[in-house]
Amino acid sequence: MSRYKKANSIKSVGIVGTGTIGASWTSYFLAKGFKVKAWDPGDNWEVKLEEFIDNAWPDLEKLGFSDEASKSNLSLCDDLGEVANEVDFIQESAPEQLGVKQDLFKVLDKITPASVIISSSTSGLIMSEMQSNLSTSERFVVGHPFNPPHLIPLVEVVGGKMTASEVVNWTIDFYNTIGKHAIKINKEVPGHLANRLQAALWREAVLAVQNGLASVADVNAAVAQGPGLRWALMGPHMVMHLAGGKGGLEKMLTHFAPGIEDWWQTMMENPDMDQQLHKLLVDGIEAEADNKSIGELEEERDARLIKLLGMLRETS
């Protein structure tokens, strides 16, 4: 018999680290009706967390609350031990530093009941390195969301060398149960999968600016006004399947793959990220942002995300 509760019976969640990602997770879990205990070692974290939740709440309402959703289900804890006790699951979102994660995991390993699975939001660190020298390393797993977690469904789940396969499967089941779209990453690599895909595209986007191929604004438009619209609906392999017409992916591979292979041979260069290129990128994005603050750009992004998610639900 499994030591872990069934994924659909989880009632309470612990949030360890309440920066941008942890605060977003907190908002999502509250909207889904969970009791949430949160803790962060930073100054004034309680006020920042509650402000984030208040700002996120209207967007979450548009997407649909659970019947039990309530901001009053949040408990702000004075120490980590309060979070570790009396929760069914922990989502860790500490700073993206290996040493910080390792030290934190050692504490959680000791003070959290062995029946509680601990999932890390790490965007690129390797779980096998984070979970070393733990007595219950088998229940530590990566559950990497895409920012902002309270809106974007994707969660990448990957276990370390010592993570039990049962824990990986349980974690995928749990995230899917609460409305996320969890995918299984079969092996550990820096950056997991989605960030590597994003980084590969950004490398070409940076090179396009560095080599004078196009401006920052036009590079952004080349994605947002073109293939990015299709990628919001389906992934790259399915896009290529449609590119083959009635012959599908097989025809596409026969007719277009040789030419694309030739393009790949011209994509071996990496950008030289020096101060000159930094300035070129920053100047370009500031011009395109047209004096909009980060907060204003985030609001614009989230408003569009809400409409896009609504459309995808209606047409799925």
pLDDT in tens, 91-120: 999 999 999 999 999 999 999 999 999 999
How much is the average pLDDT of 312-316?
88
Helices 216-224 and 275-289 pack at an angle, to 10 degrees, of 60
pTM score of the predicted model:
0.94
Q: What percent of the chain has pLDDT over 90?
A: 97
How much is the average pLDDT of 149-154?
97
Q: Tell me: the pLDDT tens digits for 78-93?
A: 999 999 988 999 999 9
Query: Is the per-residue pLDDT at 316 higher than 90?
Result: no
Confidence of residue 1 (pLDDT cuts 50, 70, 90): low
How much is the average pLDDT of 271-281?
96
How much is the average pLDDT of 146-152?
96
Q: Tell me: the pLDDT tens digits for 161-200?
A: 999 999 999 999 999 999 999 999 999 999 999 999 999 9
- 10: Cβ contacts below 8 Å, ≥ 6 apart: 34, 88, 89, 174
Q: Tell me: the pLDDT tens digits for 241-255?
A: 999 999 999 999 999
How much is the average pLDDT of 55-69?
95
Q: What domains does the chain contain, in order, with CATH numbers?
A: 7-184 (3.40.50.720), 195-315 (1.10.1040.10)
Position 27 scores a pLDDT of: 98
Do residues 122 and 101 touch, judged by C-beta distance below 8 A?
Answer: yes
How much is the average pLDDT of 8-35?
98
How much is the average pLDDT of 297-308?
95
